[in-house]
């Protein structure tokens, strides 16, 4: 099975925008606001940029020139100057995607209390619209699977999860081309990073309490002292580059 830390999918497929990052997915400048409404629940999130994007599953949207359009599906109305920065979906939102994203982000929030739920939902919905059409259903399957995961599985502490098949199918659909995929493995007393790119060898960096080992397609190429890197979070990336000299 693919060793994929599902909370780390913020950097791969589910939430490429980083919106499910516990730090809230900050962007570069200015202010704005976005809101998402489903059923009886309403969630508000602050976003950045000079433009403001409002989502609501209403049947009308008002444009800058005062015209009103009618639609049976949820629409997105945008006002203000367009800077090109988008943190959420543009256009109609599929109710199934909305429901799945809210459930997945609720689960992330239960396991990672600092998760910004509203930003998470916006990023999740935006990711659906950024995928090739043939991958949308596969992405939905992954998002719908997330609420079934335990917190240790979401944190990557358990290597195999109930969502692995769905994730592999999504990666096979959207992970081709020129994109590389990177997954994190975290277990009791060990941690690691695996990087796979099309037409390139797989690079892995695995550390235990004492030693870190660099491999290329399963062949050891270097090692170095672990120096407690598994307890230092993102420090594993700097450690990998200094130890392995991976490009």
Q: What does pLDDT average to in each consecutive run of 10 residues of the chain (247 residues)?
A: 39 37 38 38 41 44 45 40 48 90 94 89 88 91 94 81 89 67 80 86 93 94 94 87 87
Residues 200 and 130 in one domain: no
Residues 131 and 82 in one domain: yes
User: 171 lies in a domain?
Assistant: no
Last residue of a domain, one of 118, 152, 186: 152
Which residue range forms the structural domain that includes residue 126? 7-152
Residues 17 and 139 in one domain: yes
Residues 30 and 143 in one domain: yes
Predicted TM-score (pTM) of this structure: 0.47
User: 165 lies in a domain?
Assistant: no
User: 110 lies in a domain?
Assistant: yes
Euclidean distance between CA atoms 70 and 165, whole angstroms? 40
Residues 44 and 143 in one domain: yes
Instruction: Output the six-digit token pair for 150.
Output: 């335990």
Residues 78 and 16 in one domain: yes
User: 55 lies in a domain?
Assistant: yes
* pLDDT computed for residue 178 by the predictor: 55
With beta carbons less than 8 A apart as the criterion, state whether 140 and 174 touch: no
Residues 47 and 137 in one domain: yes
Residues 124 and 12 in one domain: yes
Q: How many Cα atoms occupy the beta-carbon half-sphere of 34 within 13 Å?
A: 29
Residue 230 CB neighbours (<10 A): 21
Q: How far are the Cα atoms of 171, 196, 214, 237 from residue 12, in angstroms, in the given order?
A: 9, 12, 22, 16
Residues 95 and 212 in one domain: no
Residues 130 and 187 in one domain: no
DSSP label of 8 = G
Residues 48 and 87 in one domain: yes
* pLDDT computed for residue 30 by the predictor: 34
Domain count of the chain?
A: 2
User: 54 lies in a domain?
Assistant: yes
With beta carbons less than 8 A apart as the criterion, state whether 19 and 123 touch: yes
Residues 135 and 183 in one domain: no
Last residue of a domain, one of 152, 187, 210: 152
* pLDDT computed for residue 239 by the predictor: 92
Q: How far are the Cα atoms of 185, 204, 223 from residue 227, in angstroms, in the given order?
A: 18, 18, 12
């Amino acid at each position: 099975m693919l060793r994929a830390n599902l909370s780390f999918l913020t950097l791969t497929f589910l939430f490429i925008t980083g919106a499910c990052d516990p730090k809230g997915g900050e962007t570069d400048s200015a202010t704005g606001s976005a809101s998402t409404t489903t059923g009886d629940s309403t969630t508000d999130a602050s976003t950045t940029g000079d433009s403001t994007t409002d989502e609501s599953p209403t049947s009308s949207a008002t444009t800058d020139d005062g015209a009103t359009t009618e639609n049976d599906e949820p629409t997105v109305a945008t006002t203000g100057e367009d800077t090109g920065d988008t943190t959420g979906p543009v256009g109609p939102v599929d109710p199934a995607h909305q429901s799945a994203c809210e459930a997945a982000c609720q689960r992330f929030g239960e396991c990672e209390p600092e998760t910004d739920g509203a930003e998470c939902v916006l990023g999740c919905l935006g990711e659906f619209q950024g995928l090739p059409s043939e991958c949308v259903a596969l992405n939905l399957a992954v998002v719908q699977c997330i609420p079934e995961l335990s917190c240790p599985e979401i944190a990557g502490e358990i290597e195999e999860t109930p969502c692995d098949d769905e994730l592999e199918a999504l990666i096979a659909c959207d992970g081709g081309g020129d994109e590389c995929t990177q997954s994190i493995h975290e277990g009791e007393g060990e941690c690691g990073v695996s990087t796979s790119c099309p037409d390139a060898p797989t690079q892995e960096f695995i550390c235990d309490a004492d030693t870190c080992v660099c491999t290329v397609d399963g062949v050891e190429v270097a090692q170095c002292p672990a120096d407690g890197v598994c307890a230092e979070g993102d420090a594993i990336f700097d450690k990998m580059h200094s130890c392995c000299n991976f490009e």
